[in-house]
A and B are shown apart, each in its own frame.
Chain A
Amino acid sequence: MSVIIDRRNLGTRSSANQDRLQRRVRGRVKAAVEKLARRRSLGDMLDTEQPIAIPTKDLHEPSFRRDMRDAAWEQVLPGNKEFRRGDRISKPHGGDTGDGGGSDGAGASDGLGDDEIAIVLSADEFLSVLFEGLELPNLRQTRTEDIQLDQWRRAGFVKEGSPSRMHIGRTMRTARARRMALRSRKKGELEELVRQAETLEEEIRIRQGYGEDTSIERFRLDEIREEIRVLERKIKAIPFIDESDLRFAHIDQQPRPVTSAVIFCVMDVSGSMGDIEKDLAKRFFLLLYLFIHRQYRSVDIVFIKHHGEAAECTEQEFFGAKEGGGTLVSPALELVEEIMADRYPAEHWNIYLAQASDGDNAQDDNRLVQERALALLPHLRNMFYLEVNQDQESALLRLYKSIAQDFPELMIARARRTEDIYPLFRALFTPRAGVPHG
């Protein structure tokens, strides 16, 4: 009469409830995510699932209930030790009679003690809340041909083409097929003739043994031998490769969207950039990386540090290194150009450039920076400039602002404190709204 069923593979069915719960508290979740993003390191956040505390009062489910606090009640309790009938027990101070109202069962089940519940977001949910409503200001994306790359792709084989595209494998295979087809009939005939010749030779030998005349047979044998010779010649004459065998790889032009991106992170590591400044830059770069990563299948990052001169480096060197000396920005931009030309041609990659600096550039370098920036910008999807920890706008920032007049894809922001980064990030990527251009 009993049936036993294994339901374990059915998985949980809580996701619909979980969805609706998150929907219900989306304001809270968003605020909590933003708070996390401001304070903590993003790397840590993505490693683990993020529990977000939601006060249960937000999720209160009201109902008609009794309020027994100031009411008369009587309750039966277990575990009497020394009480006798008529004993009086002083009420606890503070007017609150505690759980005294327990004759109402509803109070007990609701008062589970905790006033918060945790909503757990996966890394992906976390990011989607974090970046909700934000868009890449991919100004050049409007021209669709830009994100598409015309690419030569193989498209079968054809009989004509330039010798450089001749497909050896295919050609040889066709030739072999032809040879086999032409030969097989002649080979059959040849074998037949050889057999006849052997039979005749045998007969001639026998007749000679009996001393009989063999002139007719000899005549016939000569004929057959002639035929064999002709056939063998014909078989040999089948060309190893005929012109008709030639096959050429066909290629065709097909558009393909570019699905990979590269971010050049350029940071000033001169003496004036301390840990705080680097941390600001790091947060910004990481947010940018995560955000851009949601748009593309794969994202490369190139780290370039610079002071007087620029060098490509590892992430550790990038954020760890503290070097001294004066600051020149233009060599860094120059290096970006070189690396692009070398490894990331603009027609194959979506290129982003993010630069963080305190803006303390050598005065006469700014003109070079302008040249470089103007040369670079047409190849970039976006360029970001984050100026950290400055009371006043630097000359570099003012220069960038003037360039941004003509190139809105150059975006500029300033940050002083860790908490500034996420809001300014939101401001940068909120569509239409306050992109701080000038």
Chain B
Amino acid sequence: MAESDTLLFTDNEWTFERIAVVTERIAEIAESELALDTYPNQLEVITAEQMLDAYASTGLPMYYPHWSFGKQRAIETGQYRRGEMGLAYELVINSNPCISYLMEENTMVMQTLVIAHAAFGHNAFFKNNTFFQQWTDAEGILDYLEFGKSYIAHCEEQYGIDAVSDVIDAAHALNRNGIDRARRPHKLSTREEDRQRRERAEFIEQHLSEIWRTVPGAAEAAITAQEDRFPGEPQENLIYFIEKNAPTLETWKREILRIVRKIAQYLYPQGQTKIMNEGFACFVHYHVMHSLHARGLIGDGALLEFYASHTAVTFQPDFDSRRYSGMNPYALGFAIFQDIKRVCLNPADEDRRWFAFAGDPDWLKQIHFAMREFRDESFVLQYLSPKVMRDLHLFALANDPKADAFEVTAVHDDQGYQYLRSALARQIAESARSPDIEVVAVNRWGDRHLHLKKMDSYPLDQAEAKRTLDHVARLWGYDVHLDAGDVVMIARAKASPP
């Protein structure tokens, strides 16, 4: 307490002035010590209720209204009230300016932590990670969300809330199959979007009549169908395909599909970089909080409070614990980023064998490289070290459905490290993907059915698939067939469209 005159705060109440001062000091540390390049920050103070709102809509500041968000909120409110879930103390939006939410319930220490974590950690990650740079448009998203919301409000007015909801239900069902994984999406812009919308409406009509030209004679049809297969190649983006090619779908419904698809596309990188993104943000807040303390800007009490939250967030329960619910991305990501720094500054012989950069004194460069160039799968494959595997006591378990026991295929020992690392990377890659279902053919000259095929080898949940297919059929307007490997499922178009 000798240096209490330098402390930014002594009691734990937050004020706007304190937040401003703290943010300034953190910005200074982030720049001078971590060389972080960030979007301008917009810090928004909100209530717990508003935080629950934000949760319900994937953290987006505005979203079209839909019952599923109401459901999500009801679930989370219930858990929150029952004390099963603490509200994450941070929520941040990949936008320029970068919006971070500060909950009013937070203490000043927590606000400091959140600012370091979200407004600098996540912010820098959004701005610099290649995957985010290529796949999302932080400049345009707020505008685009506004456009989507008002367009859908307009549809609700014109076509009724229930009709709009039906389309969104169907689009949400295909959400994870509405993403371009191999192609970089176009920039989002409201004005552009509005202008293009009209062009699209006209284009779709022409284009559609191309595909759906008047049916020729039946005999001829059989030949034509073989010769001129449509689509030429299987299409993985189901929403996009339906949006462009559904024979009778009204234009406004196509627009809604497009809005849902665009937002899913924008959110896609977040699911692909959860471990890295959280890990990096934890790495940043950990550094910043210590630096603030070392500079005498926060007291010992504040540091202790920080440790309590930090440990809670980066805690990894054991697989046999009641609290276990999978790998904690905060824990794994933080452990790996801290480990990169350790391998640079304080490498063991083992690390020198594993990592070419071991002993590089410029640890910051290595951290930045790791943060920029990877996504979860490749990040784990590249950086998961034997030390981290040992610390987490990782092991691999395999299930053969025919056997009566699980088998331990690897543990954290010399024989197991490589195996564990690739197994974990594979697991991360798979969990981030939905079943690979693609459009392989459209029956153009006959009953117009849409033919889908499951392209991967994992078994499909058939009850789910059945209900999802019903949604597809509703949009497509005609029957939909799904070749799921061992079974072909057919969804009938219930009401034939006008």
| A338 → B minimal CB distance (Å) | 53
Cross-interface CB contact of A5 among B42, B47, B411, cutoff 8 Å: B42
Residues of B within 8 A of A78 (CB): 316-319, 327, 392-394
Residues of A within 8 A of B412 (CB): 80
| A59 → B minimal CB distance (Å) | 5
Q: Is the CB of B423 within 8 A of A71?
A: no
Q: Is the CB of A62 within 8 A of B173?
A: yes
Q: Which positions 94-128 of chain A face chain B at CB distance < 8 Å?
A: 97, 100, 102-106, 108, 112, 114, 117-119
A4 contacts the other chain (CB 8 A): yes
B415 contacts the other chain (CB 8 A): yes
**Bound CA–CA A17/B174 (angstroms):** 20
**Bound CA–CA A14/B47 (angstroms):** 13
Q: What 0/1 pattern do residues 65 to 108 of A give for CB contact below 8 A with B?
A: 11110111111111111011111111100000100101111101
Residues of A within 8 A of B393 (CB): 78-81
Residues of A within 8 A of B69 (CB): 14, 17
Chain B CB within 10 Å — which of A1, A75, A91 has the most? A75
Q: Is the CB of A73 within 8 A of B416?
A: no
Cross-interface CB contact of B45 among A5, A18, A67, A104, cutoff 8 Å: A5
Stretch binding the partner chain, chosen from B5-13, B249-257, B290-298, B454-462: B454-462
**Bound CA–CA A255/B461 (angstroms):** 69
Residues of A within 8 A of B75 (CB): 56, 112, 114, 117
Residues of A within 8 A of B46 (CB): 7-8
Q: Is the CB of B460 within 8 A of A102?
A: no
Chain A CB within 10 Å — which of B16, B77, B435 has the most? B435
Stretch binding the partner chain, chosen from B192-200, B224-232, B366-374, B426-434: B426-434
Cross-interface CB contact of A74 among B327, B396, B415, B467, cutoff 8 Å: B396
Q: What 0/1 pattern do residues 7 to 21 of A give for CB contact below 8 A with B?
A: 110111110111111
Cross-interface CB contact of B66 among A2, A17, A74, A118, cutoff 8 Å: A17
Q: Is the CB of B325 within 8 A of A117?
A: no
Residues of A within 8 A of B459 (CB): 66-68, 70-71
Cross-interface CB contact of A72 among B172, B399, B415, B431, cutoff 8 Å: B399
A216 contacts the other chain (CB 8 A): no
**Bound CA–CA A80/B424 (angstroms):** 15
| B173 → A minimal CB distance (Å) | 5
Contacts A3-B40, A20-B66, A105-B432 given: A62-B468 contact, CB under 8 Å? yes
Nearest neighbor of B406 in chain A, beta-carbon distance? A89
Residues of B within 8 A of A71 (CB): 399, 401, 458-459
Stretch binding the partner chain, chosen from B49-57, B240-248, B305-313, B356-364: B49-57
Q: What 0/1 pattern do residues 398 to 411 of B give for CB contact below 8 A with A?
A: 11110111111111
Q: Is the CB of B460 within 8 A of A66?
A: yes
Q: Is the CB of B71 within 8 A of A56?
A: yes
A23 contacts the other chain (CB 8 A): yes
B161 contacts the other chain (CB 8 A): yes
B27 contacts the other chain (CB 8 A): yes
A60 contacts the other chain (CB 8 A): yes
A234 contacts the other chain (CB 8 A): no
**Bound CA–CA A73/B431 (angstroms):** 12
Q: Is the CB of B467 within 8 A of A85?
A: no
Q: What 0/1 pattern do residues 25 to 69 of A give for CB contact below 8 A with B?
A: 000000000000000000000000000001010011111111110
Q: Is the CB of B43 within 8 A of A3?
A: yes
B397 contacts the other chain (CB 8 A): yes
Residues of A within 8 A of B78 (CB): 114, 117-118
Nearest neighbor of A5 in chain B, beta-carbon distance? B44
Q: Is the CB of B20 within 8 A of A74?
A: no
Q: What 0/1 pattern do residues 69 to 88 of B give for CB contact below 8 A with A?
A: 11101110111000000000
B464 contacts the other chain (CB 8 A): yes
A212 contacts the other chain (CB 8 A): no
**Bound CA–CA A54/B67 (angstroms):** 13
**Bound CA–CA A60/B407 (angstroms):** 35
Residues of B within 8 A of A119 (CB): 74
A213 contacts the other chain (CB 8 A): no
Residues of B within 8 A of A6 (CB): 16, 44-45
A24 contacts the other chain (CB 8 A): yes
**Bound CA–CA A21/B77 (angstroms):** 14
B158 contacts the other chain (CB 8 A): no
B258 contacts the other chain (CB 8 A): no
Q: Is the CB of B27 within 8 A of A8?
A: no
Q: Is the CB of A117 within 8 A of B71?
A: yes
B420 contacts the other chain (CB 8 A): yes
**Bound CA–CA A10/B462 (angstroms):** 44
Q: Is the CB of A21 within 8 A of B399?
A: no
| B468 → A minimal CB distance (Å) | 5
Cross-interface CB contact of A80 among B49, B404, B411, B462, cutoff 8 Å: B411
Residues of A within 8 A of B430 (CB): 103-104
B437 contacts the other chain (CB 8 A): yes
Residues of B within 8 A of A73 (CB): 398-399
**Bound CA–CA A77/B412 (angstroms):** 11
Residues of B within 8 A of A80 (CB): 319, 393-395, 411-412
Residues of B within 8 A of A84 (CB): 408, 411
Residues of A within 8 A of B346 (CB): none
Cross-interface CB contact of A97 among B317, B399, B413, cutoff 8 Å: B399
Cross-interface CB contact of B460 among A5, A19, A64, A76, cutoff 8 Å: A64
Contacts A64-B434, A85-B409 given: A79-B317 contact, CB under 8 Å? yes
Cross-interface CB contact of A4 among B16, B56, B423, cutoff 8 Å: B16
Residues of B within 8 A of A13 (CB): 50, 53, 62
Q: What 0/1 pattern do residues 170 to 209 of A give for CB contact below 8 A with B?
A: 0000000000000000000000000000000000000000
Contacts A3-B97, A89-B408 given: A65-B65 contact, CB under 8 Å? no
Residues of A within 8 A of B460 (CB): 64-67
Q: What 0/1 pattern do residues 1 to 43 of B give for CB contact below 8 A with A?
A: 0000000000000001001100110010000000000001111
Q: Is the CB of B464 within 8 A of A64?
A: yes
Chain A CB within 10 Å — which of B66, B74, B324 has the most? B74
**Bound CA–CA A88/B460 (angstroms):** 27
Q: Is the CB of B67 within 8 A of A79?
A: no
The 26 sampled A-B contact pairs (Cβ below 8 Å) are A1-B41, A2-B27, A2-B40, A2-B43, A4-B43, A4-B45, A7-B45, A10-B50, A12-B47, A12-B49, A14-B52, A17-B57, A20-B66, A62-B468, A63-B176, A65-B461, A66-B460, A70-B459, A77-B394, A79-B317, A79-B318, A80-B393, A81-B318, A81-B320, A84-B411, A89-B397
Sort A-B residue pairs by CB-CB distance and give the 4 closest, nearest first: A79-B318, A21-B70, A105-B431, A16-B65
* Given A14-B70, A118-B77, 19 new contacts (CB under 8 A): A1-B27, A5-B42, A7-B45, A17-B70, A19-B65, A23-B67, A23-B162, A59-B71, A60-B467, A71-B401, A74-B396, A74-B398, A79-B324, A80-B393, A85-B409, A85-B416, A88-B408, A112-B75, A118-B78
Which A residues form the contact surface with B (CB < 8 A)? 1-8, 10-14, 16-24, 54, 56, 59-68, 70-81, 83-91, 97, 100, 102-106, 108, 112, 114, 117-119
